[in-house]
Structure 1
């Protein structure tokens, strides 16, 4: 079972950001990415929001680094780990613009992009950018189809749909990968359908483990009914973790303990059919986080 990490610093929602992140900067982000690369993490991930309305700023904060710029910056600090947008709200931008940005990122990183996409949830963000919020699901469905074409091998991609229409417009560089993996985020019924029928993988959004198995089964059933039997990556987001016995209060939901105990708990995800597990390691400083990343990679991961 592969493992990845949503990076600190680049998004600072009060749901998960640690206090030390508020004064952190680019070097903290880069060192965390380097630590994940050294520790064998399959991917590092970055979120996407363009602007946060004042009514949500206290909870979500307004710190949301741009995913393309951030992942391109981190591509230069890493060599192996893949670069995941978790998730890009692609309905906010024209598919040709999205394709240009992410194809360039894939080329510059020598084929390490995983494009994670999602519907988005902040109404004001859509309205400010002139995109209909109520129809964002339908726009996303078509955007994914258009991106498939725009990130494919053709220099002059062609798409004709309800929301987007283009042909005879060339884009280079092309992605380094012949096929850019496209993972769909979200846990609603439309998101599961979209992942099953249009994606190469599924990124659940915080589903507790007791609800995960039924959703994995639902995605598999949808794919079987549609006659889809190609490779597909099932993801999960683990509970907060701390390798060892912390000398501070990490919260009642945090899994703590020796590596073998953590691995035993996390193997339950593999039994459900999970292929890649996103971990969130608790920390009070960048150094503690990078130490936790190293410990997870060296002591827990081999037991998964």
Structure 2
């Protein structure tokens, strides 16, 4: 697929991005601040999100990923970045210049297909073709009845919506009707999980993979499975990071991520690159240090190991 955003994602062989929300609310200090401000459990502090998005853009992080969580569910305790995904991406497109804007991931079966197409085309146009559209079938059964959708049939709905996004809804629109704006570049679709599909279907129809966090050894096996059905299409994943102040602090693993100094982070990213991973988005909700300080350290000491100078 001739997508400028997809080509940039793994330009140079490997790249590093950031996953929203831009807050470290999963730390003890963050939890104390949440209680004091009477935010819900899992609801991040959004006061600095715009400044931090601009900073990530200026510092050269490759992509900024946002999630699709339509309804807050206290049993999950995670409101993601709170804002509606396409509205937020439109806002981010207006305040950033270069960073790619990704969804991780839009739950297609609970959305109205034509409006999803129009929203994606709008963000793609407003951002200058910076949209990377991660898509999924969803894993929260509580949402489906609220939207009048069938959870058991989400696999078929996912296939139908992928077809609609691919052909711009031409197969279903009556003659003379269209969805504007028209896309002037292909819309890159990256899948989270298997979306209730066979691996061969996913590999043939998706443009990239958004994999759950894991160790380099985990990803080595997953990348091999992806390459078997998708060839060289990009494979991306995420790390929940707590970057220590001491550059040489050893790595400590936890579920979905790690704590350590920048030397441990560099070694982990090098191992992921060697395992075949093309892009890693860093998630900072467990990060104990101020995010702007952390972004600057990574940009100065980590990105040069992986991003080619522009």
Q: What CA distance in whole angstroms lies between the structure 1 residues aligned with 2:133 and 2:24?
A: 18
Alpha-carbon distance, 1:28 to partner: 1.0
Aligned CA distance change for structure 1 residues 10 and 301 (closer, same or farther; 3 Å): closer
Deviation track 1:203-255 (CA, whole Å, cap 9, x = no partner) reads: 012334322111111111123xxxxx5x6111121352405329xxx975333
Total equivalences in the alignment? 277
**2:31 paired residue number:** 19
Deviation track 1:82-139 (CA, whole Å, cap 9, x = no partner) reads: 1111100111112211010110111111111111101111112111111100111221
Structure 2 residue 298 is matched with structure 1 residue 296: yes
Helix, strand or coil: the match of 2:95? coil
Alpha-carbon distance, 1:51 to partner: 1.4
**2:218 paired residue number:** 211
Aligned CA distance change for structure 1 residues 2 and 103 (closer, same or farther; 3 Å): same
Could you tell me which runs of 5 or more consecutive residues in structure 1 were left unpaired when the two chains were aligned: 151-156, 160-164, 224-228
1:241/1:279 contact within 8 Å kept: no
Q: What CA distance in whole angstroms lies between the structure 2 residues aligned with 1:9 and 1:125?
A: 25
Highest RCO, 1 vs 2 (Cα 8 Å, sep ≥ 6): 2
Aligned CA distance change for structure 1 residues 60 and 26 (closer, same or farther; 3 Å): closer
**2:178 paired residue number:** 170
Alpha-carbon distance, 1:280 to partner: 2.2
Q: What CA distance in whole angstroms lies between the structure 2 residues aligned with 1:21 and 1:137?
A: 40
TM-score normalised according to structure 2 size: 0.79
Structure 2 residue 245 is matched with structure 1 residue 244: yes
- Superposed counterparts of 1:253-268, under 5 Å: 253=254, 254-257=258-261, 259-268=262-271
Helix, strand or coil: the match of 1:76? helix
Alpha-carbon distance, 1:265 to partner: 2.2
Structure 2 residue 34 is matched with structure 1 residue 33: no
Considering only aligned residues, what root-mean-square deviation do their CA atoms show, in Å?
A: 3.0
2:252/2:260 contact within 8 Å kept: no
**1:162 paired residue number:** none
The structure 1 residue matched to 2:143, chosen from 125, 137, 151, is: 125
Aligned CA distance change for structure 1 residues 184 and 252 (closer, same or farther; 3 Å): closer
**1:226 paired residue number:** none
Aligned CA distance change for structure 1 residues 214 and 62 (closer, same or farther; 3 Å): closer
Alpha-carbon distance, 1:192 to partner: 4.8
TM-score normalised according to structure 1 size: 0.80
1:184/1:191 contact within 8 Å kept: no
Q: What CA distance in whole angstroms lies between the structure 2 residues aligned with 1:191 and 1:243?
A: 41
Structure 2 residue 109 is matched with structure 1 residue 91: yes
Structure 2 residue 278 is matched with structure 1 residue 275: yes
1:46/1:84 contact within 8 Å kept: yes
Helix, strand or coil: the match of 1:60? coil
Q: What CA distance in whole angstroms lies between the structure 1 residues aligned with 2:95 and 2:32?
A: 22
